[in-house]
Amino acid sequence: MITTVLALVAGAVVGLALGGLGGGGSVLAVPALIYLLGFSPSAATTASLLIVTATTATALYGHAREGAVAWRTGALFALAGIAPAFAAGTLADHLPQPVLTCAFSAVAALAAVRMLRPARGTPSRTRTRPGTAAGAGAGLGA
């Protein structure tokens, strides 16, 4: 019963973050699956991929109906990521689970630091056009 409640709460938090920000679901889902639900790092990464794919596909449908999808950019982004993802997945099969967890933590921490720091040469107050920030991670928006 406790595991089900934890899964529902964690899923709601990840879903709200992914829906509100348009990306970053895996950064929250993987630790939740590992530390709250007892998944191994490999299983958590796979489950996270499925969860984020389903959530993104749902959002993509709505944006596509509005004509707000940059299909070419999204396709190029996906094509550019296939070979590195396959290579990293193959490499991950040969690494100890603690190494994978530490690597994930390092990447998440680096991403957090980069998001908190303003870009060089960018005014402190920037204006984002409505609809462009929410889908930026999936090739949506501008």
User: How far apart are the C-alpha atoms of 48 and 27, rounded to whole Å?
Assistant: 9
Reported confidence tier of residue 11, pLDDT bands at 50, 70, 90:
confident
pLDDT at 23: 65
User: How far apart are the C-alpha atoms of 75 and 66, rounded to whole Å?
Assistant: 18
User: pLDDT by residue (tens digit) across 85-126?
Assistant: 889 888 988 989 899 889 888 988 898 888 788 877 766 555
User: How far apart are the C-alpha atoms of 113 and 100, rounded to whole Å?
Assistant: 20
pTM over 0.75: no
Reported confidence tier of residue 75, pLDDT bands at 50, 70, 90:
very high
State the sign of the Cα–Cα–Cα–Cα dihedral 88, 92, 94, 98: positive
Residue 85 — φ and ψ, nearest 5°? -65, -40
Q: Provide CB contacts within 8 A for 63, sequence distance 6+.
A: 69, 135, 140
Q: Which of 3-7, 27-31, 34-38, 138-142 has the lowest mean pLDDT?
A: 138-142
Residue spans per domain, the chain? 2-117+132-138
Residue 37 — φ and ψ, nearest 5°? -110, 0
Query: What mean pLDDT is predicted for residues 69-85?
Result: 93
pLDDT exceeds 80 at position 128? no
User: pLDDT by residue (tens digit) across 21-49?
Assistant: 766 777 888 889 999 999 988 888 889 88
Task: At 51, list the tokens.
Answer: 């969860």
What 3-state class would DSSP assign to 72? helix
Q: DSSP per residue over 104-133, as a string?
A: HHHHHHHHHHHHHSPPTT--SS--PPTTTS
Of 140 and 61, the structure prediction assigns the larger pLDDT to: 61
In 1-142, beta strands by DSSP E: none
User: How far apart are the C-alpha atoms of 70 and 102, rounded to whole Å?
Assistant: 34
